[in-house]
Amino acid sequence: MTVSTELELQSFVLLRLGERRFAISANQIAELVAPSRVFRFPHRTPKLEGVILRRGRIVPVCDVSEMLLGKRLASRRFYLIAVRNYGAQREWVAVPVSGECELIKAEMMAAVESDAPHVAGWLSHDGDVIEVLNLDTLTPGPEQVVAEAAARQRPEARL
């Protein structure tokens, strides 16, 4: 069996953040909606802007552009509502995107150890190599607080 026969075509949603394109596995996407009012209230979780109301649900809005591009989006065209896993629990999270989204089928190359934690894999499309995002590491959650606390307790490396 060759490597190419082991790979299967999967569905991905291509999204645009600024000048770059990223992909998310299509089975993680709930819907694409027009920007609506963001309700803001005090909190201490970085990257979360607030929440939107969608079909009676309260959905957190998480701008991932700063982490991926190093700057916030100048304009938002849609919110991509995606499923985020928290252990056995799953919840929606709204990710602002700056352009049209596209559904494609492609083969994903698995991420390697040297890739950033938010990279679930890579795919090739229209001559571009595109990062497939792992929203579970890209958006905040309780496991990150545990990791931060562990890092704080770890003694600093000394020369």
Partner 1 sequence: MRLASPLKASPAKTEQIILFRVSGQLFAISSASVQEVRSADSMSGGATEISAPGLRKVRHVLRRGDRSLFIVNGAMHFGLHVAEGSLLFVLRRTRTALLIDGIDKMSAMTRLQALPLSFCHEERQWYRGLTALDQTVVPVVHPEGFLSPEELTLLDAALLQADKTASEDPEGTNSAQ
Question: Which residues contact partner 1 by CB under 8 A?
Answer: 27-30, 39, 41-45, 48, 51, 53, 56-60, 62, 83-84, 86, 89-93, 139-142, 144-145
CB nearer partner 1, residue 15 or residue 93: 93
CB nearer partner 1, residue 37 or residue 158: 37
Q: Looking at 3-127, which runs of residues are DSSP E strands?
A: 9-17, 20-25, 29-33, 48-54, 57-62, 78-86, 89-97, 102-110, 119-125
Query: In the bound complex, what is the minimum distance in angstroms from residue 39's beta carbon to partner 1?
Result: 4
Q: In this structure, is the dihedral angle defined by the CA atoms of residues 22, 20, 15 and 145, taken in order, positive or negative?
A: positive
Query: In the bound complex, what is the minimum distance in angstroms from residue 7's beta carbon to partner 1?
Result: 23
The one-character DSSP state at 111 is P
Q: Can you read off the two tokens belonging to residue 46?
A: 């970085």
Query: In the bound complex, what is the minimum distance in angstroms from residue 31's beta carbon to partner 1?
Result: 9
